[in-house]
């Protein structure tokens, strides 16, 4: 719409300016009539030629460009023209309607009747077709969104999120109202003191992991505060916290210990493998089980996954370096700091620990199970398992910062279709997150899956606990509402102006 109106205005301005130029050149209408008789000998012939050329171009513009379909993308016109315009279709949306009613949304009925000339009905047909692929649905919804009353693509990432969510839920009225946040917690051997066989990779001692779990249970930590604010159901799962048991927490509804817990956490990858392959499988199962159990209680249509674990930025950097072959210096940053000033010596220490470990353990590029086994950690493996389970169930996942993005990259290496369900919420201040995102996007493109776009929020967040992803819940809900409620350009243009 913007392109057509802009071009029309430009043509009009040219006509007006040309007329003014002609009048100024010829001084008066009488002189125009007089000179028209002697036009062959007139030196102002170029002026008149310019005028008639402009008029000719304007006429051609109106004939070949200014017809109604110029307001929408050609793909929309092609789809609509290929559809039988005389029939009407009835689309039964029982499942969607029931979900919306559960979310507090009202529908006029369980049957939506629309003309096949409607771009929305075309998208609905594809979305509800049991034989349609994710890509079919995604493209159909994007095409429908091009017909909305807005410039094409003007909502940016929001349009991808809307199309992705609709494609997963097989509905053009998707919902992001039932959000469950699961935070996995574990300790890392590499964060233990050197006296205890670790490498003291973190600025914080290991027991802080346990205290954060208690803070989440008490409703005082970031993940619990923001979950409560945004109406997300919160579960905190101990999959490898040192010296923790549920008796230290007051609420059994929030904090629980997984039956697949890796007791004592991982070993220090600076001297040995963090886990065995069997323990990796155990932690993957812990994540999958947490998702299954939560769905029995909440029937979530969106997941937020978070983590707590002192030393897990070091572990994530090691996993990414091992999985991708990227140099450590390009992906390892400060992690959790005790002050606002970055300690360069602490960063260099982490890089040295990881570099030595990479030499110790050998090549694991493209081998996610081996990377998890050699470097850990229990909560990262659990996150990967949870993402895999959400993928099997076609449930959207709002991806938090560096640690969760690393787990998502691990899961995508295991199962490329994971790329479909990922919604990158927040850009971390850790450079390694960008490496993880690029790895996922590369896998998506390799397997012909729409690559998830870059993170929606950029606020230099690095807390963890799923906080960045929780803050993106309203954005995902906005995407769902845009798709369900936004009017088409045709509807807006047909509105009557009240006098």
Q: Catalytic residues, which ones?
A: 465
Q: What is the Cβ-side half-sphere exposure of residue 8, based on CA atoms within 13 angstroms?
A: 13
Contact 291, 182 (CB under 8 A): yes
- Helix ranges (DSSP H) in 333-448: 344-361, 368-375, 378-392, 402-414, 432-446
Name 381's Cβ contacts closer than 8 Å, sequence gap at least 6: 275, 280, 283, 284, 286, 287, 372, 407, 410
Strand ranges inside 69-186, DSSP E: 88-92, 111-115, 179-186
Nearest to 420 by CA among 447, 456, 385, 454: 447
- Residue 183 pairs in a beta bridge with 236, 306
DSSP annotation string for 321-355:
HHHH---GGGT----S-SSSS--HHHHHHHHHHHH
Between CA 374 and CA 315 the distance in angstroms is 10
Between CA 218 and CA 220 the distance in angstroms is 5
Phi/psi-derived region of residue 37, left when phi > 0, alpha when psi is between -120 and 50, beta in every other case: alpha
Name 493's Cβ contacts closer than 8 Å, sequence gap at least 6: 71
Element (H, E) at 458: strand 457-461
Element (H, E) at 63: helix 45-64
Q: Is beta strand 111-115 parallel, antiparallel or unpaired with respect to 88-92?
A: antiparallel
End-to-end Cα spacing for the chain:
25
Q: Is beta strand 396-399 parallel, antiparallel or unpaired with respect to 457-461?
A: unpaired
CA angle 412, 155, 437 (to 5 degrees): 20
């Amino acid at each position: 719409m913007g392109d057509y109106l802009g071009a029309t205005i430009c043509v009009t301005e040219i006509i007006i300016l040309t007329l003014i130029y002609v009048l100024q050149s010829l001084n008066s209408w009488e002189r125009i009539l007089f000179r028209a008789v002697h036009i062959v000998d007139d030196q102002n012939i170029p002026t008149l030629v310019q005028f008639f050329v402009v008029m000719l171009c304007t006429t051609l513009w109106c004939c070949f460009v200014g017809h109604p379909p110029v307001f929408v993308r050609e793909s929309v016109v092609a789809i609509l023209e290929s559809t039988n315009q005389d029939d009407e279709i009835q689309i039964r949306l029982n499942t969607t309607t029931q979900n919306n009613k559960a979310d507090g949304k009202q529908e006029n009925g369980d049957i939506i009747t629309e003309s096949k000339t409607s771009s929305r009905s075309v998208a609905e047909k594809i979305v509800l077709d049991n034989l349609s692929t994710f890509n079919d649905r995604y493209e159909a919804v994007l095409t429908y969104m091009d017909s909305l009353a807005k410039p094409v693509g003007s909502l940016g990432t929001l349009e991808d999120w809307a199309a992705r969510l609709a494609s997963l839920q097989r509905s053009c009225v998707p919902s992001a109202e039932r959000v469950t946040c699961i935070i996995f917690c574990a300790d890392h051997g590499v964060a233990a003191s050197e006296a205890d066989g670790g490498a003291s990779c973190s600025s914080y001692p290991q027991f802080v992991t346990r205290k954060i779990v208690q803070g989440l249970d008490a409703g005082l930590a970031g993940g619990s505060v923001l979950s409560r604010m945004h109406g997300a159901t919160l579960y905190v799962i101990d999959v490898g916290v040192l010296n923790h048991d549920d008796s230290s927490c007051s609420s059994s509804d929030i904090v629980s210990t997984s039956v697949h817990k890796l007791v004592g956490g991982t070993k220090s990858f600076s001297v040995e493998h963090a886990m065995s392959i069997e323990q990796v499988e155990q932690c993957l199962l812990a994540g999958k089980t947490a998702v299954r159990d939560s769905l029995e209680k909440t029937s979530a249509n969106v997941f937020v996954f978070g983590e707590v674990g002192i030393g897990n930025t070091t572990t994530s950097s090691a996993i990414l370096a091992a999985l991708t072959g990227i140099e450590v210096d390009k992906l390892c940053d400060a992690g959790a700091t005790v002050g606002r000033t970055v300690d360069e010596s602490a960063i260099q220490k982490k890089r040295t620990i990881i570099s030595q470990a990479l030499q110790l353990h050998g090549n694991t590029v493209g081998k996610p199970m081996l990377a998890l086994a050699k470097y850990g950690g229990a909560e990262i493996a659990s996150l990967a398992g949870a993402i895999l389970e959400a993928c099997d169930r076609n449930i959207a996942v709002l991806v938090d910062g560096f640690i969760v993005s690393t787990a998502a990259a691990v899961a995508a290496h295991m199962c490329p279709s994971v790329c479909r369900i990922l919604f990158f919420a927040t850009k971390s201040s850790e450079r390694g997150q960008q490496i993880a995102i690029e790895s996922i996007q590369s896998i998506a493109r390799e397997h012909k899956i729409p690559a998830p776009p870059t993170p929606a929020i950029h606020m230099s967040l690095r807390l963890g606990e799923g906080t960045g992803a929780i803050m993106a819940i309203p954005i995902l809900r906005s995407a769902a509402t845009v798709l369900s409620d936004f009017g088409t350009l045709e509807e807006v243009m047909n509105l009557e102006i009240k006098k």
